[in-house]
Structure 1
């Protein structure tokens, strides 16, 4: 495949990444809005529970009922998320509810974005390799950097920084120079994932142990919404990087390929016979 064909494929991948990123951002913002509506309804439910708990007992077993109501109230912040009450519905959740549709769309667009992003990463790194550019991260290693647990907290940042600099014609010595856009993208990814991880640990402690970390529902929702916004921002920033790197390769890849040193064939060993 010629360089022109590879560049066209890269541009197509960049467009697909951008489309999925925009769809993902829209679905995420809709989900946050629906979650805010659910929080408002949850506070109305809690107010009704408190009113019932304050009423005088007129039947046997009131103390038991009140204890159950207080227990439900105390655990409501975690149950709000674990039981799916963050998706508002009038009479139970069905596939036709807007909240369910938004959640499914968010999942599908997120999956589509990840697949499109990995295809673009493979093609972008592959173009540099085909042009004879010496890089630390080839296509296979770059994909592995995103998929292997633990190392994917560091290596994707390095791979993207190298890809950005080398695609813009930077020499090998400056392949890992600071790029503000790359730093902003990866900061959003890491901080968003760390916040989500902390909230998951909190939910597991509340649901699986006798330790209950009491936090207001609005606070937990705000924290999770902030983490989701960071990840949506990361997707948008990634699409921006994809467009910039694609444009840079269209501009510089021909020059890079022309100036790249050709691979020399290894010379055959020779023996000089000296006769006297």
Structure 2
């Protein structure tokens, strides 16, 4: 099942899209993730039309899977601070407009932390942002990421993600990115009961909404709610569980994105390891 594995890693966008495309091909991958702008926020670099066209041609020639833009970590649509919520709106609106220059790809974000306002209030604020920025005509699919449940994070339970989706008018523009480290740390036992976790996901959210996987091992034990990624096979998930994930019939056709603590060539080693399973 892994002959056609759609696999990539997180790359720096500083040298442009064509460079990222050629870099992932060198590493043995066929997709990649990148930050939409500095992960701590700030203004995004101007798009280069020639670079975009060169990447799109390269991606078509090499049958790339959808690529994944990751919103900055500072984007928090359910912050207690009104200016932080306004920043989230400004950034996501701009990012989605930019992503339309790379049509039919994915944009991933952390739902946010309610910082004491409560999960229900957090869900309402996240949905309110999405209702402002999502448009029926957009081609970009926006992915809510599963979280580890640390602190006041929203999205550590499947029910919370479903509650956000249910409140959004353009819900056909929404999907889920499942992070293996996060869900394990949140208390979903994908090591010993992967089928059970996927059945629960299907019942609560629907497997048709699962569009991408952040493939990470975890430095912490099950249900630790810590969110610390580890290299593939070197954490509490282990290589056997990772192999079951990439081979699972409900998952094997999805794009997998590595966010492990690696330098670029270390990602190449992990991609070779995964292709060899």
TM-score range, shorter chain: under 0.3
Using structure 2 for the length normalisation, give the TM-score: 0.24
Using structure 1 for the length normalisation, give the TM-score: 0.24
More helix by share: 1
